[in-house]
Amino acid sequence: MVFFWIGKKGLSMASETLAVADDAGRKSLADVAYESIRDWLLTLEIKPGELLNDDLLAKNLGVGRTPVREALKRLELDRLVKTYPRRGTFATRVDVTDLSFISEIRAQLEPLAAARAARVASPAVRAELRATLEKVEAFDVAAATVTETLKLDAQVHQGIYAAAANPHLEDILVRYDNLATRIWCMVIDRLPDLSHHVREHLDLLRAVIDGDEEQAAELAKAHVSGFEQAVRGALFNA
């Protein structure tokens, strides 16, 4: 998959996917289409409000129209696209009101997931989170592409959601994290200090790994609040 992005570093091209796990051999064509189109929507390669053409998507993905249509149905459940009779399927729009609603939900559920992960994560899962922590420590934000930064962010959050071992909570949080990512991509080239946002994950991961429920919850809530404040600053100071 290829993403194009115009930001601080100009036009860049990256072949990375935002999916944390890449196991294409076990995925159906509909799964592949879903993840590809989802990532184009998240990174705004498909712009908010843009009409999605089934035939063009199928051609770009090298699949038939049926997997694409199945993918679009799933994406509508994720609130990333909206289908209108006789008009077609459009990427959903993004506005400041969305930021308030999404942050309100994440401020309640992200601390819940972080605290639960700190409490119930197995030794194997904590080892995986420790490996993610090491990636964050070694990550060079200045040299990274936007997709690499987003992929790392997704790995941290989705790792904590999975560690919470509640599939229903995980499903909800992945959806709202995706919606937050779209908003982030709208302003990422205007954020003054991406490195601060990335490195905030370190203390959060340490709290989860160490089993400190209270600290994990507090840091998760602060991270969501900081994200909302940074995005609002970028939107209103543009």
For residue 147, what pLDDT is reported? 83
Length of the chain: 238
For residue 25, what pLDDT is reported? 52
What number is the average pLDDT over the span 21-44?
83
Q: Where are the domains of the chain?
A: 3-91, 96-236
Residue pLDDT, tens place only, 52-91? 999 999 999 999 999 999 999 999 999 999 999 999 999 9
Residue, of 217 and 94, whose pLDDT is higher:
217
pLDDT band at residue 9 using 50, 70 and 90 as cut-offs: very low
pLDDT band at residue 46 using 50, 70 and 90 as cut-offs: very high
For residue 106, what pLDDT is reported? 97
What number is the average pLDDT over the span 20-33?
73
For the 96-236 domain, the top CATH level (class) is mainly alpha
pLDDT band at residue 212 using 50, 70 and 90 as cut-offs: very high
Element (H, E) at 11: strand 10-14
What number is the average pLDDT over the span 114-129?
98
Q: Does residue 8 surpass a pLDDT of 60?
A: no
What number is the average pLDDT over the span 142-146?
87
Q: Does residue 2 surpass a pLDDT of 60?
A: no
For residue 23, what pLDDT is reported? 52
Is the fold of 3-91 the same as that of 96-236?
Answer: no
Region 3-91: CATH code: 1.10.10.10
Local structure of residue 227 (DSSP, 8 states): H
Q: List the structure tokens of 29.
A: 């064509």
The Cα 10–Cα 109 span in angstroms is 36
pLDDT band at residue 118 using 50, 70 and 90 as cut-offs: very high
Element (H, E) at 3: strand 3-7
Among residues of the chain, what percentage have pLDDT more than 70? 89
DSSP 107-175: HHHHHHHHHHHHHH--HHHHHHHHHHHHHHHH--GGGS-HHHHHHHHHHHHHHHHHHTT-HHHHHHHHH
Compute CA distances 187 → 35, 144, 173, whole Å. Answer: 23, 17, 21
Q: Does residue 1 surpass a pLDDT of 60?
A: no
Compute CA distances 203 → 65, 108, 156, 157, 177, whole Å. Answer: 45, 19, 12, 13, 19
